[in-house]
Amino acid sequence: MKKKILVTGGTGYIGSHTSVELIEEGFDVIIIDNLYNSEADVADKIHLITGVKPLLEVLDLCTLEKLDRFIQNHKDISAIIHFAAYKAVGESVNKPLDYYRNNLLSLVNILAVMKRYDIPDLVFSSSCTVYGQPEKLPVTEDAPLQPATSPYGNTKQIGEAIIRDTTISDKNINAISLRYFNPIGAHPSSLIGELPRGVPENLVPYITQTGYGLRDELKVFGDNYDTPDGTCIRDYLHVVDLAKAHVIAVKRLIEGRNKSNYEVFNLGTGKGVSVLEAIKSFERVSGIKLKYKIVGRRPGDIEKIWADPSFANNELNWKTLSSLDEAMKTAWDWEKIIRNNKL
């Protein structure tokens, strides 16, 4: 019998790609999403890719009673992958209370139903933002957590602490936090990808929208950082590579191969890429000269960060397969398709 996995935020960017990978690995996927930053028809797109349409329940995880009722009807859930969260660094600086309420209350409610209904395994969508501005690069999992530079990053730090404390107090709950760096790109089918509402907060959708002509120019936030070209450096990994890591993590828990009941892994390429280098990558794969303007620094942004992914490489037998240009090309293909089809 297929193992049933609940994917919260499963119509979102990373959640939808992970749902595809789970289905293709033979899991039964059910999705909870409040559609705050995604569309219900993503479930249909998952169906087109995999031949299987996952059950989608539109529900706010911050309402414990509704979540509880849902779980009562699905008591055979083997594990939960928890993506559902607000995720924009810049927005979190302006709306901290929204971020604390949504990101933390939803997690507390998930853990509460796990305890109540004996769901043993959780994979948590964490972030490299928990490291703040690291003292040493590349970043390993045992790097000290610096004060978060944004409320979003703080919700991930606090979220990890909540999970760790829960696993200490209840040995029946096992969890893995996946600290990922900067996912980009889209599924090779171009049926699912990153679809931000309004003005994108993330770099690559802003690049592709500008390339397509939706934006007049790209704003580059700061060129006076202590980096080779003065712009911020990030570790960009293909979203499909990232999705596959979630499948590996959930299998590790279900099969009891975890070394402790709370584990943490960095997911990145191990290579730092500046904003200007990302722009050049887009120009290479698209053949378009991108218009951009240097503006002031953005509150909450850190200067430079990239992963040391060797622990995940060795312990999970996972590594990124796609290059920056390959990932960027899928992002550009996705942008052209959604604008031509106007989703």
Task: Collect all residues with Cβ–Cβ distance below 8 Å to 157 and sequence separation of at least 6.
Answer: 130, 145, 148
Query: What pLDDT is attached to residue 75?
Result: 86
Give exposure, 62-72, as e/b (b: 16+ Cβ within 10 Å): bebeebeebbe
- How many whole angstroms separate alpha carbon 10 and alpha carbon 267? 19
Residue 343, pLDDT > 80, answer no
Task: Answer for the pair 241, 199: CB distance below 8 angstroms, yes or no.
Answer: no
- How many whole angstroms separate alpha carbon 62 and alpha carbon 114? 15
Q: What would the mean pLDDT of 290-318 be, rounded to a whole number?
A: 95
Task: Answer for the pair 302, 267: CB distance below 8 angstroms, yes or no.
Answer: no
Helices (H), the chain: 13-24, 42-50, 64-72, 89-94, 96-116, 151-169, 203-212, 239-254, 275-286, 310-315, 324-341
Query: What pLDDT is attached to residue 89?
Result: 83
Query: What pLDDT is attached to residue 279?
Result: 98
Q: How sure is the predictor about 149, in pLDDT bands with cuts at 50, 70 and 90?
A: confident
Q: Compute the C-alpha angle 72/4/315, nearest 5°.
A: 125
Percent of the chain residues topping a pLDDT of 70: 99
C-beta atoms surrounding 299 within 10 Å: 13
Q: What would the mean pLDDT of 234-250 be, rounded to a whole number?
A: 98
> Which burial class, exposed, middle or buried, applies to 46 when counting CB atoms under 10 A from its CB (0-12, 13-18, 19+)?
buried
Query: What pLDDT is attached to residue 342?
Result: 57
**pLDDT (tens digit per residue) in 8-51:** 999 999 999 999 999 999 999 999 999 998 999 999 999 999 99
Residue 237 bridge partners (DSSP) = 183
In order of their start, the domains of the chain are: 4-185+236-267 (3.40.50.720), 203-234+270-341 (3.90.25.10)
Structure tokens at 127: 């972030």
Query: What pLDDT is attached to residue 317?
Result: 98
**pLDDT (tens digit per residue) in 97-125:** 999 999 999 999 999 999 999 999 999 99
Residue 194, pLDDT > 80, answer yes
- How many whole angstroms separate alpha carbon 227 and alpha carbon 9? 35
What are the angstrom distances between the C-alpha of 15 and each of 10, 131, 239, 294, 306? 4, 23, 10, 33, 22
- How many whole angstroms separate alpha carbon 134 and alpha carbon 158? 18
pTM: 0.97
Query: What pLDDT is attached to residue 197?
Result: 81
Rg (CA), the chain: 19
Active site residues: 152
Task: Answer for the pair 164, 145: CB distance below 8 angstroms, yes or no.
Answer: no
Query: What pLDDT is attached to residue 76?
Result: 95
The mean predicted confidence, pLDDT, of the chain is 96
